[in-house]
Amino acid sequence: MKIKKDYHSKEFINPYFNQQNRGFNVFLYLKILALILLIYLAVYSDLFKIKQVDITGLKMIDQSELETLVNQQLDSWRWRLLPQRNLLLMDRGLLAEKITSQYNLNNLTLNKGWKKLAVIVEEKVSFLIVYNQHNFYFVDEEGRVTTMISEAEAQEYWQQFPLLNIGEQSLAIGDQVISAKAVDFLIKLDEELKLKPVPIYGYEARAGEEVALVAKQGWRGIFSVDSDPRVALDNLLLILTEKVEDQNQLEYIDVRFGDKVFYK
C-alpha cells in the first residue's frame, strides 16, 4: 500500500532571506546621518573656512588689487558644489594660475594655515613702464610684461622708470614688448638724459631695434639700440647746441649712424 504524503503542511525556508532584516535598522540610519553630518562639517560649515588672507612680498603690485583677485577665486565654487574657500578643498594650482595670469612673478608660494591662507610673492624687478592706447604696464629686464597698472600708478613711478609708448600694440602678461638689448639701452639713455638739459615726455618704440625720445618741444631724437647711448646722446646735444636755433621748429635729430647725424 502506498502512503500518501501531505506536503501542504511543510514550510520551505529560503536560507538567503532572513526575515529579521525586514525591521527598521536604527544603527544603519544613524551611521548615514553621522556621515552626512561629517560631510557638512568638513565641507560647508565654518570649521575649515578660510577667513584670513595674508599677502607678503609686494613691492610694485597693488595690495588691494591682489587681495581682490584672491578673494574672488576663493569665493568661487568648483563644479557648483565644492567651495574654494574651504581649506580641504581649495584648488591651490587653480589659484596660482589665476594670479600668474595677471602678474609675471619670479616665485609664488601658497601656504594653508588654520582658517587662513598665506600668499608669498616674489615680484620680478621692473625696468620700464610701457603703454598703449588703453593701459600701462611694467616690463622686466627681458622686455616682458610683468603686470598691468593704472595710470595713477604709472604717474607715481614714471620719474623712476623710462616711459615707452608702444602705440596700438596689444599686450598680455608675459608678452615680449621689446628686446632685452632695447631695455638696457633705454635705461642707460634715460640715466644720461637726467643729467642733461633736455626735457622729455618719454620714449616711443619704432620699427626694428630703434627708439625715439619725445622732447617737450615736440621734436624726436631717433636712436639705434645697437649704438652707445652716451655717444649717441653727445652727438644729439652737439646738434642742439651748435645747429638748432629754435627747438620749436625742429622735427627730428637722427643719431642712428654714429657720427653721421641728420636733423630737420
Tens-place pLDDT, residues 219-258: 999 999 999 999 999 999 999 999 988 999 999 999 999 8
Q: Do residues 132 and 114 both lie within one domain?
A: no
Inside any domain, residue 1: no
Helix, strand, coil: what percent of the chain each, to 5? 30, 30, 40
pLDDT band at 13 (very low <50, low <70, confident <90, very high): low
In whole angstroms, what is the distance from residue 97 CA to residue 103 CA? 10
| Mean pLDDT for the chain overall | 87
Inside any domain, residue 81: yes
Q: Do residues 146 and 169 both lie within one domain?
A: yes
Domain count, the chain: 2
Q: Do residues 257 and 198 both lie within one domain?
A: yes
Residue found under cell 604717474: 155
Give the pLDDT mean for 92-100: 92
Inside any domain, residue 37: no
Which residue type sits at 110? L
In whole angstroms, what is the distance from residue 52 CA to residue 30 CA? 35
What is the model's pLDDT at position 180? 94
Does the pLDDT at position 5 exceed 60? Answer: no
Nearest by Cα to 221 from 245, 191, 176, 190: 190
Given 63, 93, 123, which residue is the final one in a domain?
123
Q: Do residues 206 and 86 both lie within one domain?
A: no
What is the model's pLDDT at position 215? 94
What is the model's pLDDT at position 104? 86
Q: Do residues 253 and 167 both lie within one domain?
A: yes
Given 62, 97, 123, which residue is the final one in a domain?
123
Q: Do residues 111 and 141 both lie within one domain?
A: no
Residues 165 and 133 sit within 8 Å (Cβ to Cβ):
no
| pTM reported for the whole predicted model | 0.73
Given 107, 123, 139, which residue is the final one in a domain?
123
- CA count, 13 A, side-chain hemisphere, 2: 3
Q: Do residues 87 and 102 both lie within one domain?
A: yes
Q: Do residues 243 and 171 both lie within one domain?
A: yes
Q: Do residues 258 and 133 both lie within one domain?
A: yes
Tens digits of residue pLDDT in 50-78: 999 999 998 888 899 999 999 999 999 88
Which residue type sits at 263? Y
Give the pLDDT mean for 38-51: 77
Give residue 93's Cα distance to chain centre: 14
Inside any domain, residue 10: no
Q: Which of 26-40, 73-87, 185-199 has the lowest mean pLDDT?
A: 26-40
Portion of the chain with pLDDT greater than 70, in percent:
90
Domain range for residue 140?
128-263
Portion of the chain with pLDDT greater than 90, in percent:
57
What is the model's pLDDT at position 192? 92
